[in-house]
Structure 1
Amino acid sequence: MALPPLATAADLEAALGRAVDTAQADLALRRASARVRRYTRQNFTFTAGETTVLRGGERVLALPARPLVVDASHPLTVVELSGMTGIEFACTEGRDFTRLGNELTRGEPWYQPTRLMGWPWNRPLGVWAPQVRVTYSHGYTEVPDDVVDVVLDLAAMNLSNPENLRSVSIDDYSRTFAAETIGGARLSASHKEDLRAYRRSAFTVVPS
């Protein structure tokens, strides 16, 4: 299922101060949203109950999509996978791990050896199993304003040069388009700086 654009046609028209063809606005916003998502490695759109299998083996397990949403309607489920044996161990927050932001920290390696510190018994204490299955909700019910600003800026550049021209001349009038609009609007250094706080580093996901 395709993700919705990170801004609306009404937002784009308000930013441009003029009416925009619906099809052109939709295309420009989808292209701009795709570039923002690709750079930040974040969907932004709220997603409930997504299940993914992550590579463990460390004390801290970072959930890939942010922000993490945990409440009565959106529980966080964490299960360690044993691999070849098929045994699974359901972990409980506050007993088996602690949560800070999107990071789940497993056990305390200096405590006495118990099942709560690590599983199975012959694994180093206080670290996650090699694979961990997590079901969690994440994203924004409303896209942050600074992200919307970048999307609208890119969409406006897409609309300013839909034919990807370097320049155009009509009689005595000539216009040279910005390099960022050629071949589709690209994120500028300023855009990337605005999005830096939302960008996550690459991570490894094991297909489930």
Structure 2
Amino acid sequence: MALPPLATAADLAAAGATVTGPAADMALRRASARVRKYTRQTLTLVEGETITLAGGGRVLALPQRPLVVDAAHPLTVTELSGMTGIELACIEGRDFTRLGSELTRGEPWYQPTRLMGWPWNRPSGVWAPQVRVTYSHGYAEVPDDVVDVVLALAVMSLANPQNLRSEAIDDYQRTFAAETIGGGATLSRDHMDALRPYRRAAFTVAPS
């Protein structure tokens, strides 16, 4: 599924860009892709995504944030036993607690016995080796500081679509910023600083 740009054509025009149409749309897509690559976040709202995470610890960190959990966006967490095929549905407040994007496994609510099979032999308060999660995440409205970075990148890209280092017209010579060269604008240190609160550490997520 293609993700929508993090800023609109109207935003781009308000930022001072005079280019419209396909060129502007491409600049926004490229700028959004660079921001998402750096932050490792989709940022826009994604509803009901299903992923499988490696467990084995007390805390399970969901890769995308912020979490959106309400009546229309339920959080579903299921521990997977692996080879036996047994699945255990976990309930918030009973089996785990949630703080931000972290789910902390609690003590089991049942009395495990050998007759129950898995997970009787698993340490209490530890997630199963694999956990399947269906959750919604992202922002219904992209934060302004993220939009600002996307627009800055798009404007720079449109200012130098031919990736020139400099151009001369009669006695006038113009030198382009290094960030505008090389297939589209790149993130500057200031851009990275602005995006750092949204950036997450790398995760390995198994597709479901």
TM-score, normalised by the number of residues in structure 2 = 0.93
Contact 2:51/2:133 (8 A) holds in 1: yes
Gaps of 5+ in 2: 113-117
Gaps of 5+ in 1: none
Identity %: 76
Give runs of aligned pairs for residues 24-173 of structure 1, distance below 5 A: 24-108=23-107, 114-115=111-112, 120-173=119-172
Aligned residues: 202
Contact 2:52/2:206 (8 A) holds in 1: yes
Distance 1:201 1:135 in 2: 21
Deviations 1:24-51 (A, max 9, x none): 1101100000000000000011111111
Contact 2:79/2:128 (8 A) holds in 1: yes
TM-score, normalised by the number of residues in structure 1 = 0.93
Matched residue, 1:188 = 188
SS of corresponding position for 1:25: helix
Contact 1:113/1:125 (8 A) holds in 2: no
Superposition deviation, residue 149 in structure 1: 0.2
Distance 1:114 1:132 in 2: 21
The RMSD of aligned alpha carbons is 1.5
Superposition deviation, residue 95 in structure 1: 0.6
1:155/1:64 CA distance change after superposition, 3 Å: same
Matched residue, 2:115 = none
Distance 1:24 1:137 in 2: 32
Distance 1:113 1:7 in 2: 49
Matched residue, 1:198 = 198
